[in-house]
Structure 1
Amino acid sequence: MNDKASLSAHNVSRVYDGTAVVSGVSLDLPPGVITALLGGSGAGKSTLLRLMAGLEPVDSGEIRLGDRVLSSPGHTLAPEKRHIGLIFQDFALFPHLTALQNIGFGLADMPREEARAIGTQWLSRLGLGARSGAYPHELSGGEQQRVAIARALAPKPAAILMDEPFSGLDPSLRGSVREEALAAIRDAGIPALLVTHDPAEALDSADHIAIMRSGHILQQGPARDIYLKPQGADIAAALGAVNIMAAADMPPGLLTPAPPAGSTLVVRPEGILLDASAPVKARVVSSRLTGPMSRLVLDAGPMRMVALVPRFDAPAAGAEIGIRFDPALAFIFASGAS
């Protein structure tokens, strides 16, 4: 089996009780690329992952690894024969095995000493060299997840699928564990799918993003393109809060050129810029520090908007300020477009 082949879904559907949970989805996971599958609860994300893993059969379409068909109607290659690593939110470690033994479980076909050496290397790679003899209940959540990641990667899988793998971690650990894990996955050079409901995680972690809703993929491509070139208002909103307004309500001078009459304007909060020389003025309803950025609620004529500005630029509530829109973060859609 070519461990550097793409893992892909071709026009795949899965139906439960007459309802298509996944409907005609095509998604290609190239080697060496981390793809985030982003969507809300019930979008079909986890079901698509399960189809690619072989945990469920497809009702139509195909799952392929390179040229090899893994799933088609009436044919589902067993998960253990796909050579695909799986990482879930609940870690799923064996409680009676040490960290090293958990990793070695997936290396049972190797000579014992070779498996031990590989497991030790992976523990060291993920900063757990001193924890090889610890049992899961003796490990922190972040340590348990790193063991789960090492166990998935140690057998050199052809691809890796991750279902909300970091969402159960303490926020103070999440970023560092995710960074270590994804660095190891990138080094492996295999296709990787990260299922998440968190747009910040998708943008921070993934090379490519696919937006999924109601069983369909709405848009997919490089993360930068999804963020800067959304094909609809709903897609723009999938990557974070946005301001949505009718072009008719927009005061002249906020955006050049002005959007066509009857169109809808979608502006990211970070796309509202403070500019003392701008002709459009807004009143600051509230100003709240949220970390490196401040969140402003603004009134500008008939519009109320939310802006994110650097904290050192943030005006106080009650101030009148000049504003304009960053054209790169303001998207114009025909009326009725989603």
Structure 2
Amino acid sequence: MSKLSNRLMKTSPIVISLVSFVLAILVSCVIMLLCGYDPIFAYSVIIEGSLGSVRSLTNTLIQATPLIFTGLAFMVGKKATLINLGVEGQMYTGAMVAALVGMTPLPLPGILHLLLALVCGVIGGGLAGALIGFLKVRFGSNEVITTTMTNFIIINFCDYLVNYPLKAEGAVAQTNKIVDGALLGKMIPGYQLTWAIVIAVLAALIVKFVLEKTRFGYEVRAVGLNMKAAETAGIKVGGVMMKAMLFSGALAGLCGAVHVTSVGKRFISGFSPGYGFSGISVAALASDSPLGIILAGIIFGALKTGAMYLNMMSQIPTEFVSVIQALVVIFVSAPLLIRALIGADRKPKKGGRSHAE
């Protein structure tokens, strides 16, 4: 095997993610051409709309914030061999709980009221995630099915609340406004960007520390690498799975709490355009790296912001951004294909050393 192939094998997660993203862009260009659109024009508009000005950059970071949270939430579950498709519902739980606390007048200073709302959102999302972990460990239920079903239950229950008992007077499907003291402040005067992006970055750093420097993180990684070996080594696999789902749900809950205390300023029915599911693409592109998720979230945030600008400047459908996200997941989930394309799986020439050697 050549030296180049050896390097590619050593850096395979990064290389696979990079090549997957490039392939997703190229394939989406082909699809645009087949549909009669100019991909060069489309991507030039997307770049201009997401990075062309200070306002565009701030909008990109606003869009990236929830994607970083949901990417982290999905990644934590996956590290423990759990496919948490319930990030969307757990995010709704955190958002609703945080909105309830935030809109309730309390005899607290503003910063404490905000912290209480965020903490309650974290607890709400964490409990929703822990329930899935409990069903998995206690009854052996499939987390893909239970998370998918709980999404419907939670989202529809939240919709009921904002349409009936918690509906703001004279409003449509939303709660009362969160009190000013419990809202996240703006980072730049005159722009909508708040300190939510800083919280998202700090969350990524905390996740990295927990997974790499703590006993819990070691146990999660051990279970993810080899469940039977971890159990033989004395690790309580069931407990680790429940804690991982609690942690995953807490991150999703924090996402919802941050959203309602910054962008939404209240709980609004249907506030999420699918952030929980977009987190799968973000985690895939980042190769399940906490710091990589920050960059992947910004990339997808730029695509979403650029797509909105594209919609204003042309007749090209914004759904092509969703196509790119789906293609990223498809290519990342086919590492053998990517390695074949970059030559990492090329067989050694006759007389060369074998892969095993």
Query: What range describes the TM-score normalised by the shorter chain of this pair?
Result: under 0.3
- Structure number with the bigger relative contact order (C-alpha 8 A, sep ≥ 6) is 2
Return the TM-score normalized by structure 2: 0.23
Return the TM-score normalized by structure 1: 0.24
